[in-house]
Structure formats: C-alpha cells, structure tokens
C-alpha cells in the first residue's frame, strides 16, 4: 500500500516562500498528474516527494509513515527525470540494472528483469550501447526501464516527455499509461502540458503559485473549473473569456456583453446584476442563426479534422470549433450559439467560479 | 534544425577558401596557412628535433678529454648501459619514486578535492590557497624540506621523533632506507595541490542528475563514489596521471638539492644519474644514452597508459 499524502506542505528558500499549505492525497495505485505552468512548484513538490529537496514545513506520508526525514534511498521511490539522468559511464544494460546491483541481486535475476524491461521498451538491441549513442527517445526509454526494474511503491515522472518530438510524445503517453496499468504502482507525473494531463491522469492536481488550485478528474477540471485560471489552463484551443454582466430577459437570466447575449440556466438568476467573466469553450460554440455571440470572422484555421473560427466579438477574439466543411468568408458576419449549461461563469473580481 | 551561428558560417566560408570574414583583419584569414606555421615549425626544429637527433648521434660517440674531441665509439655506450648496475639501480629508484608518489598524490588529491567540493562560504578561499605551493620553485621546496628534515634542528625530524615514528639516531636524508621517503615528502607536499585542483575542476563540472538518480536507486555514498564519481572523473584523472606521471619520471630538482643522490646511490634517479655522467664525469655520450633511455621509457609508459585508459563512454 502506498498512499501518498501531503499535509500542510510548505517550502521556502531562505526568506522566499515558494509553496505553502499543500494538502493532497494520492490513493494507492492512482495515476496523479501535477499540472501547472513553469514555476508553479510542481517539480519542487515532486522532488520533495523523492527526498531530493527538504521539506520546510508539513508532513509527507507515504504508505502511512511520515518520511520527511527519510533519505531518498530509503523511500522506495523510482523516478524518471526530465533530462533522463542516465549514468553516462554505464551501458544501457548497467544503467537499467544499477538498482539491482545496489541490492546485490543475483545475476540471473538481473538478467531476467533487465531483459524483460528491455523487451517491453524495445531496447533489446541497444543494451550494449552507451547513453551518448542513443537518440532522445531511446534515452527516455532507458530512464523508464531503470524505473521499471525497481518494483517501487511510488513512481515519479518529472516532465519525462518534454524533450521528445510530438509524435513520439503521443506514443510514449500511451506507453507510460499502459505501464502504470500493468504495474499498478502509485504514480505522480509532473507536466505543464494539459494534453498529457487530460489523457493520462486519474486525478489532475492543478497548481498555481505554489498552491493547489484544483484537484479532480480530467472531466471535472474540464467541465467544472474552479477558477478562470483552471479554465484557461485546461482544454485546447483555450477557453474564450468575455467580461460582462448577468441580466434578465423574459424572466430568464442571461449573460450580456457587447454583441453577446447568452442565455443562462435558471438558477443563475440569483447572481443578477453581477460583474462576471463568461467562459466559453471553443468546442461548445457553434455557428448558428441568432447565436448568442455576434461578430465578424477574422480568420479560419484549418486543423485537418475541423477548423477554428476566430471571431471578433465583444472586443475580443473568440475562437469556435466548427466542422471542416462549414463555409464562411473572412470579414463576414457570423453568429455563434452555446447551450446555457455550457457557459462557465466566474466572478469578475475574484475570478472564482460562480455556483448555481 | 538548428541555425548556424554567424561565427560558424564564417568558419565554414574560411574553410572552403572563400574569403572575407567581416570584422577580422585580412592577415588572420589567409588561405595560405604555411607562413603562419613557419615560426612554430622553426622553433620545434631548433629546440626539439635538432637536440633529439644530436642526442642520438651523441650516444654513439664519447668525449675524450685529452683529445678534446668527440670520438665515435659505435654501440659501446649502449652495451655499457646494459651492464651498468648504477643504471639499473637508478631505474629501480625512479620507478619506486614514480609509483609511490603518484599513488599518494592521486589518493590524497581525490580525497582533498572531494572535501573542498562545496559552495559554502570560505571554500573558495581554501581552494585558492592551494595554488600557493605551486608557485614555489621546486629547488626552493627542496631546500625547505632539507632544513625541516635536518637531523639536529629540523622541525619534521623533531615532530616525527616526538610521536615516536623516528628514532633519534636516524637522520632522515642521511639514512639509505629513509632518504628517498624524505625526498618524496617534498614532492608530495608541493604537487598534491596540483592534483586537488585538477580533480576539483572535474568534480565541479559533474552533472548533479546521475547522483540524484543513484540516490533514488538506493546507492550509498561508497557505491556512488565507486560507480558514479570515479568513472565520471576518469577522463580528468587520466590527464592528471599523465601530466604528473611524466613529471615524476624525470624528477631531478628535489634529489639534486636535498641528497645529491645519496647517501651512497640510494636516491639516484635516471635524470640525476644522466646529469652526473654528463656534467660531473664529462661522459657526454653516455649521458646522452641515459637520457634517451629515460625519454623512451616515458614515451612507452605514456602511450601505454593512454591506450589502457582510453575512456570509452
């Protein structure tokens, strides 16, 4: 059992506080993704979990035991580093076998485990090479292999795919998730790429400025972002934001801004007159007669499967995803409709989500 | 694909013989390298190639004082060498000195370097203090240790006697069994900092990631040192061993100043013996033969070492 729990975790470098009050539980066998932009503290949190950074305050529990003061080697954690951190002086085989050598595992076991890992990772032909003789993708797989032979309680990944090209990244996403499903170990995965987070995670931990912004399943983050920041971070293309006010039309609440009149679900009536920011996902906005958003088309970007329409409305650039065969010309007037329940509302001052 | 920097473009243009590197004077971008190589070539010819050839020529001649001339002696000098017990003795002394001093300087150098590898305040000062021994001429160091190891008023003698390592009736540099160790001490004192500096430079440039990975893989400090640090340092250590090794093999100053090869012949190294034959006994031919052997040994050892220690990763 390796539940990982963070209790009021804080981190300071001298007088500079970079993280505080991190409260988080990651269940045994869960695939958790720490998501956030650079400097949000996600890597620091991961390195504190590994024991590579000291914890200034709070308790880190792994499997129910407080491990704050336990050195990395006694935490039973395997980690894949962003730059892979391979041992440059050892061949691939010895790189993968190193932890087994440390444990003085019998030669037969070393051969079997390294062989099995190499098999899964397609590295069998490269076991006799030095890391410098490998491509980035191969090095990444060696780093994975090194973690795989560990049978560790907890696996940590620190942006392992950030140095790979897009195609390989998509492939490795699947590999890592499958590896997790096979081994069933608790996994904490750090990334700034929301697509990685959405596709791989059981649970996403969105971080901002050294604090946890939102914790939830990918669907929860996508459907019910707690703040404008969370809404902006998740989803591609990004959510559109329009500042306006909640008004009333024919007894029903409606979001009003210049050129925008979007009907809202009935319970939103209690926020009548409030300054708000409406968040509209591009995938929820569709061209329609008498749509909620009226504007002119400035650009149609083909993405292959469909197209992103850039519409100038309410003084901002609104993006909508439309079918590839939808015909519209630049400069033409266009209306976009959105179902009332798909409109996200955030308080204009606090930027927190407004509940019904 | 990465864009070439302006400098690379220029270099490329220069290599292809095309010209005009904006900003560089014309004379530095010549398409004809020969004139630029000439000064160096001339210097090498005069100061390296000519003496070497002359030395070889000399080893087949001998100076005859009453004729005041060099006379050809064929391979006499080389035959004499093989039968010369003092030559074999000097060779043994040289090898002993070489291995012991190199070993101690290497181990001490690595150990001290690891202790000094820190960013804490004060360490920078400690590191720069290390260079102090390196600015002292070896002959002066020899004299210092000559005084310190003096049987009557030397501080080292006094200290060693104080802790019972040395009996009062043993003058360090005048006892055949301890004289060489006495000389080694000066060498170790002067040159260990050099090792420290080279190893430190290596240590400071090591990437932190493999260490973090090794810690997570469960390795302890000794395992990390043996499996990570030493292999990563191997290139640096190879250079340090090569430089110091060549220096040690031709050691001269310390013996010359401290013992003049004595007592008896117990601290005669090859260099010192070659010097004695050439300048004290005016056996120019034999002296040349001895120094050629030293040169050959250094070349063989150095190349053997380079070949063995060819770092593969």
Nearest to B210 among A73, A87, A101 (CB): A87
A33 and A118, same domain (yes or no): yes
CATH number at residue A332: 2.40.50.140
- The answer to whether the predicted template modeling score (pTM) of the entire model surpasses 0.80 is no
Interface-testing mutation among A49, A93, A102, with chain B (most B C-beta atoms within 10 A)? A102
- For residue A352, tell me if it sits in a domain: no
Beta carbons of B218 and A73 less than 8 Å apart: yes
Distance of CA A50 to CAs A291, B38, B52, B107, B215, Å? 52, 60, 61, 33, 10
A48: which residues sit within 8 A by CB, 6+ positions away? A9, A11, A54, A55, A60
Report whether A311 contacts A295 (CB < 8 A).
yes
The distance of B230 to chain A (nearest Cα, Å) reads 10
- From the candidates A48, A50, A72, A155, which should be mutated to test the interface with B, based on the most B CB atoms within 10 A? A72
- Residue where a domain stops, chosen among A199, A233, A267: A233
Backbone angles phi, psi at A257, to 5 degrees: -150, 175
Same domain for A109 and A75, yes or no, is yes
pLDDT digits (tens, 9 = 90+) for A74-127: 888 999 998 899 999 999 999 999 999 998 999 999 999 999 989 888 889 999
Q: Are residues A217 and A312 in the same domain?
A: no
Helix, coil or strand: residue A73: helix
pLDDT band at B300 (very low <50, low <70, confident <90, very high): very high
CA B227 to chain A, closest CA, distance in angstroms equals 9
> Please, which residues bridge with residue A215 across strands?
A205
Q: Taking 90 as the threshold, does the pLDDT of residue B35 lie above it? A: no
Cα distance between residue B216 and residue B225, in whole Å: 15
pLDDT under 70: residue ranges of chain A: 1, 356
Instruction: Kindly determine whether residue A146 and residue B213, on different chains, have CB atoms separated by under 8 Å.
Output: yes
Statement to judge: residues A174 and A74 lie in one domain: yes
Q: Is residue B21 part of a domain?
A: no
Q: How far is B123 from chain A (nearest CA, A)?
A: 21
CB-CB neighbours of A335 under 10 Å:
17
In this complex, the residue of A75, A78, A83 whose CB is nearest that of residue B209 is: A83
By three-state DSSP, how is residue B243 classified? Answer: helix
Q: Does A199 share its domain with A316?
A: no
Residues A42 and A148 in one domain: yes
Q: What is the pLDDT of residues B187-198, one digit of tens each?
A: 999 999 999 999
Residue B1 has pLDDT above 50, yes or no: no
* Chain B CA closest to residue A152: B217
Q: In this predicted model, what pLDDT tens digit does every residue of B223-282 receive, in sequence order?
A: 999 999 999 998 899 889 999 999 999 899 999 999 988 888 899 999 999 999 999 998
Range of the domain at B210: 87-308
* Nearest in space to A154 (alpha carbons), one of A59, A72, A42: A72
pLDDT value, residue B288: 93
Domain assignment present for residue A222? The answer is: yes
State the residue range of the domain holding A256: 240-347
Interface contact B218-A90, CB threshold 8 A: no
Residue ending a domain, among A200, A233, A266, is A233
Cβ atoms of A307 and A300 within 8 Å: the answer is yes
CATH, residue A114: 3.40.50.300
B313:A103 CB<8 A: no
| Of B95 and B309, more confident | B95
Domain total for chain A?
A: 2
In a domain, B219, yes or no: yes
Chain B environment of A50 (Cβ under 8 Å): 212, 216
The CATH number for B225's domain is: 1.10.3720.10
What confidence score (pLDDT) does residue B11 get? 52
Q: Are A38 and A56 part of one and the same domain?
A: yes
Query: Rounded to an integer, what distance in angstroms lies between the CA atom of residue A24 and that of residue A11?
Result: 15
Domain count for chain B, please give it: 1
Distance from CA of B58 to the nearest CA of A (A): 48
Any domain includes A171: yes
Residues A287 and A181 in one domain: no
First to last CA, chain A: 39
Let me know if residue B31 belongs to a domain: no
Buried b (16+ CB within 10 A) or exposed e, B107-125: ebbbebbeebbeeeeeeee
Name the B residues in 182-211 with CB < 8 Å from any A CB: 207, 209-210
CB contact under 8 A, A90 and B234: no
- CA nearest A211: which of A226, A196, A195? A226
Q: Do A72 and B234 touch (CB under 8 A)?
A: no
- Which chain A residues touch B220 with a CB distance below 8 Å? 73
Q: Are residues A252 and A226 in the same domain?
A: no
Domain boundary pick from A213, A233, A253: A233
Tokens standing for residue A41: 């503290």
Residue B115 lies in a domain: yes
pLDDT exceeds cutoff 80 at B95: yes
Q: Taking CB atoms and an 8 Å limit, are B217 and A89 in contact across chains?
A: no
Same domain, yes or no, for A225 and A261?
no
B80 is a domain residue: no
Does B121 fall in a domain?
Answer: yes
CB < 8 Å to A77, chain B: 216
Whether residue A310 lies inside any domain: the answer is yes
Q: Provide the pLDDT for residue B228.
A: 92
Same domain, A256 and A332: yes
Residues A281 and A214 in one domain: no
């Amino acid at each position: 059992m390796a539940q990982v729990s963070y209790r009021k975790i804080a981190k300071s470098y001298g007088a500079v506080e970079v993280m505080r009050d991190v409260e988080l539980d990651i269940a045994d066998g869960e695939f958790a993704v720490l998501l956030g932009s650079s400097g949000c503290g996600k890597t620091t949190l991961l390195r504190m979990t590994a024991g590579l950074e000291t914890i200034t305050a709070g308790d880190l529990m792994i499997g129910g035991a407080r491990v704050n003061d336990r050195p990395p080697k006694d935490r039973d954690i395997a980690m894949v580093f962003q730059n892979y951190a391979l041992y440059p002086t050892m061949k691939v085989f010895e790189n993968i076998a190193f932890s087994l050598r440390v444990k003085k595992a019998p030669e037969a076991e070393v051969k079997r485990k390294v062989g099995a890992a190499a098999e899964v990772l397609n590295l069998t032909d490269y076991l006799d090479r030095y890391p410098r003789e490998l491509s980035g993708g191969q090095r990444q797989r060696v780093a994975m292999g090194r973690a795989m032979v560990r049978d560790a309680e907890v696996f940590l990944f620190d942006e392992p795919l950030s140095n790979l090209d897009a195609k390989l990244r998509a492939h490795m996403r699947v590999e890592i998730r499958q590896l997790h499903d096979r081994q069933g170990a608790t996994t904490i995965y750090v990334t700034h790429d929301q697509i990685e987070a959405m596709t791989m995670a059981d649970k996403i931990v969105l971080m901002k400025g050294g604090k946890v912004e939102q914790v939830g399943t990918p669907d929860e983050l996508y459907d019910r972002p707690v703040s404008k920041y969370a809404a902006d971070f998740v989803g591609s293309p990004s959510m559109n934001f329009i500042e306006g006010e909640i008004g009333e039309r024919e007894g029903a609440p409606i979001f009003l801004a210049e050129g925008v009149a979007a009907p809202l679900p009935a319970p939103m009536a209690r926020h009548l007159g409030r300054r708000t920011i409406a968040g509209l996902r591009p995938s929820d906005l569709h061209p329609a007669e008498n749509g909620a958003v009226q504007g002119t088309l400035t650009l149609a970007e083909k993405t292959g499967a469909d197209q992103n329409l850039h519409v100038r409305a309410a003084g901002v650039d609104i993006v909508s995803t439309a079918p590839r065969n939808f015909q519209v010309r630049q400069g033409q007037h266009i209306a976009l409709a959105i179902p009332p329940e798909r409109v996200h509302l955030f308080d204009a001052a606090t930027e927190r989500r407004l509940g019904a | 694909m990465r864009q070439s920097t302006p400098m690379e473009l220029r270099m490329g243009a220069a290599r292809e013989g095309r010209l005009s590197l904006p900003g560089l004077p014309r004379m530095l971008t010549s398409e004809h390298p020969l004139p630029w190589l000439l000064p160096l070539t001339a210097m090498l010819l005069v100061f390296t190639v000519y003496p070497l050839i002359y030395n070889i020529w000399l080893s087949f001649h001998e100076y005859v004082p009453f004729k005041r001339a060099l006379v050809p002696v064929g391979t006499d000098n080389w035959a004499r060498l093989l039968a010369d017990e003092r030559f074999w003795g000097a060779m043994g002394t040289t090898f002993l000195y070489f291995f012991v001093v190199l070993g101690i300087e290497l181990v001490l150098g690595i150990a001290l370097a690891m202790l000094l590898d820190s960013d804490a305040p004060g360490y920078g000062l400690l590191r720069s203090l290390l260079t102090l021994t390196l600015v002292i001429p070896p002959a002066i160091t020899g004299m210092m240790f000559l005084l310190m190891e003096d049987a009557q008023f030397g501080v080292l003698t006094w200290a060693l006697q104080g802790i019972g390592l040395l009996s009062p009736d043993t003058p360090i540099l005048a006892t055949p069994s301890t004289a060489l160790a006495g000389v080694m001490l000066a060498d170790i004192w002067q040159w260990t900092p050099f090792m420290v500096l080279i190893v430190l430079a290596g240590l400071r440039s090591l990437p932190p990631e493999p260490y973090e990975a090794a810690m997570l893989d469960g390795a302890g400090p000794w395992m990390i040192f043996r499996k990570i640090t030493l292999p990563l340092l191997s290139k640096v250590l190879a250079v340090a061993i090569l430089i110091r090794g060549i220096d040690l093999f031709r050691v001269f100053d310390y013996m010359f100043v401290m013992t003049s090869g004595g007592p008896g012949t117990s601290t005669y190294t090859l260099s010192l013996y070659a010097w004695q034959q050439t300048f004290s006994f005016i056996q120019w031919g034999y002296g040349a033969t001895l120094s050629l052997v030293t040169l050959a040994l250094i070349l063989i050892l150095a190349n053997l070492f380079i070949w063995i220690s060819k770092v593969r990763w």
